[in-house]
Amino acid sequence: MTSYIELINSAWELREQGIISVHEHDLYNYLLHRCNRLNWKNPFNQSTEIICAVLGINRNALTNRRNRLKQVGLIQFKDGTAKTKPAEYTITRIGKDTPCDTHSITLTDTLSYTLDHTLPYTYTKDKTIQDKTKEKGTAKPVVFRKPSTEEIASYCLERKNTVDAQEFFDFYESKGWMIGRNKMKDWRAAVSGRRNSRKINTMRHRTTIPDDMKNFSEITDLMKRQQMPLPSQKVQIQVPDAEKVLQEALSHFLQAEGRCMQWLPEYAKVAAWLAANHGKGLFLYGNCGRGKSLLCRYVLPAILLGYCRRVVSVFDTQQMNSDIDLVLSKHIISLDDVGTEDVSNVFGNRRMAFAEVMDAAEKHGKLLIISTNLPVDDIRKRYGDRVLDRIKSTTTRILFEGESLRQ
């Protein structure tokens, strides 16, 4: 039987062959992860809004990517009903409600057919795997044969794609018919791959830039095609009747801790941010014991999930230091108790984790929710003017004053 790891590796083979793109691969890995977390319940339901929030994509992008995964046989799906039933996904050929046994997963017929030339297995009707290495005496090695331009053109015509046969031939001829470090095994799969089309199209675009472009909408489109950096879209938060929602959320979480809710003047400013954040994050600073951690860790993530369908990744500063790359991979980030961390030192690699987070927020449009007990002067001394300037430009700052409410 094929293991979970082999299933992952096989998807990588599809990506390396150019059959699926990096973005389609990301979506497949996420769905595989969700199925695993659900103890291999198959099919399973997953909210479109949650997928879009986790992967940082819109609905159109999700639709295109899951259609491609369905086309190559990795998944099946059924559209959900708005606000009542999420979309239903099936990791193909994993049995319904399969127990959590990561060593009992089989690949799809499509996958086994596509990768038959790269994997040392064949798949029998009873879903078992025979090791081809036992048949060395009869099996003939697959030898790659370089195609002619006529063969490529004929295949492209059959597939109805836009790949230029001569450009495709010249591109891989110059690379010695290699894909990365590996010798090409199936040129038809390379023709079908979107990644290869993008490379060829990029080469074409470099020589067809108009001389008289003055419309910046056209220039921006051209920058996208050339994969040039562009300003990131900011995360917009708009919660109707935000003050009432904030009061209800505070009451709920304080009651869970056995405490009563006391409305503070600072909470009105937090409610104003929830009503319209204008693309900025939130920076809560000042005296301890005033509810900043409660807001960062529980209240605001709950409101953004329930009212805005936004997933907030919550970390404390020790988690930030231990895995800064994980933090930087998220788009909406909550950091609690900034200022208590040391310099990140993982295997001798020293990094200023919080400075990297602030830099990513400005460059990539990440939304940050931050709490700290440090006053402004201490923030400047600890992190420098550059980080303080980024805090001012990317967040709405709210000062918490008064005595501690902890008893």
On the question of pLDDT at 205 being above 70, the answer is: no
Q: What is the pLDDT of residue 247?
A: 94
- 151 in Cβ contact with 191 (< 8 Å): no
Q: What is the pLDDT of residue 253?
A: 93
Q: What is the pLDDT of residue 259?
A: 86
Percent of the chain with pLDDT over 90: 28
**Which range has the top average pLDDT, 46-50, 163-167, 239-243?**
239-243
What average pLDDT does the segment 124-137 reach? Answer: 45
Q: What is the pTM of this model?
A: 0.49
On the question of pLDDT at 73 being above 50, the answer is: yes
- Give the containing element (helix H, strand E) for 377: helix 376-383
On the question of pLDDT at 407 being above 50, the answer is: yes
Place of tokens 């990791």: 91
Place of tokens 């600072």: 266
Residue 153 banded pLDDT, cuts 50, 70, 90: confident
Among residues 197, 263, 175, the alpha carbon closest in space to that of 20 is found at 197
Residue 380 banded pLDDT, cuts 50, 70, 90: very high
On the question of pLDDT at 105 being above 70, the answer is: no
Q: What is the pLDDT of residue 199?
A: 52
Q: What is the pLDDT of residue 223?
A: 79
Answer with the residue of higher pLDDT: 338 or 175: 338
CA–CA gap between residue 402 and residue 322 (Å, rounded): 33
Q: What is the pLDDT of residue 214?
A: 66
Q: For 276-293, what is each residue's pLDDT tens digit?
A: 999 999 999 998 888 899
Cβ-based burial of 288 (10 A; exposed 0-12, middle 13-18, buried ≥19): middle
Assigned CATH topology for domain 4-135 = Arc Repressor Mutant, subunit A (1.10.10)
On the question of pLDDT at 328 being above 60, the answer is: yes
Residue 142 banded pLDDT, cuts 50, 70, 90: low
**Which range has the top average pLDDT, 72-81, 118-127, 197-206?**
72-81
Residue 125 banded pLDDT, cuts 50, 70, 90: very low
What average pLDDT does the segment 123-135 reach? Answer: 44
Percent of the chain with pLDDT over 70: 79
Q: Are strands 367-372 and 395-400 parallel, antiparallel or unpaired?
A: unpaired
- Counting other chains too, the contacts that 178-181 makes at CB distance below 8 Å and 24 or more residues apart are 179/16, 179/17, 179/18, 180/16
Q: What is the pLDDT of residue 117?
A: 37
Q: For 57-70, what is each residue's pLDDT tens digit?
A: 888 889 889 998 88
CA–CA gap between residue 167 and residue 116 (Å, rounded): 28
Q: What is the pLDDT of residue 133?
A: 45
pLDDT mean across residues, the chain:
79
- Give the containing element (helix H, strand E) for 111: helix 109-114
- 51 in Cβ contact with 33 (< 8 Å): no
On the question of pLDDT at 225 being above 60, the answer is: yes
Domain residue ranges of the chain, discontinuous segments joined by +:
4-135, 149-225, 242-400
Q: Are strands 121-123 and 129-131 parallel, antiparallel or unpaired?
A: antiparallel
Q: Is 264 left (phi over 0), alpha (psi -120 to 50) or beta?
A: beta
- 44 in Cβ contact with 77 (< 8 Å): no
Sorted by sequence, the CB contacts under 8 Å of residue 293 that are 6+ apart come out as: 336, 337, 371
Residue 298, both tokens:
């529980």
On the question of pLDDT at 348 being above 70, the answer is: no
Q: For 240-250, what is each residue's pLDDT tens digit?
A: 999 999 999 99
Helices (H) and strands (E) in the chain, counts: 19, 14
Assigned CATH topology for domain 242-400 = Rossmann fold (3.40.50)
Cβ-based burial of 118 (10 A; exposed 0-12, middle 13-18, buried ≥19): middle
CA–CA gap between residue 178 and residue 175 (Å, rounded): 6
- Counting other chains too, the contacts that 54-58 makes at CB distance below 8 Å and 24 or more residues apart are 54/30, 54/311, 55/26, 55/27, 55/30, 56/331, 57/23
Q: For 315-326, what is each residue's pLDDT tens digit?
A: 988 888 888 889
- Please provide the size of the chain in residues: 407
Answer with the residue of higher pLDDT: 207 or 58: 58
Among residues 401, 372, 389, 242, the alpha carbon closest in space to that of 296 is found at 372
What average pLDDT does the segment 330-336 reach? Answer: 93
On the question of pLDDT at 193 being above 80, the answer is: no
Answer with the residue of higher pLDDT: 136 or 121: 136
CA–CA gap between residue 42 and residue 352 (Å, rounded): 42
CA–CA gap between residue 261 and residue 294 (Å, rounded): 12
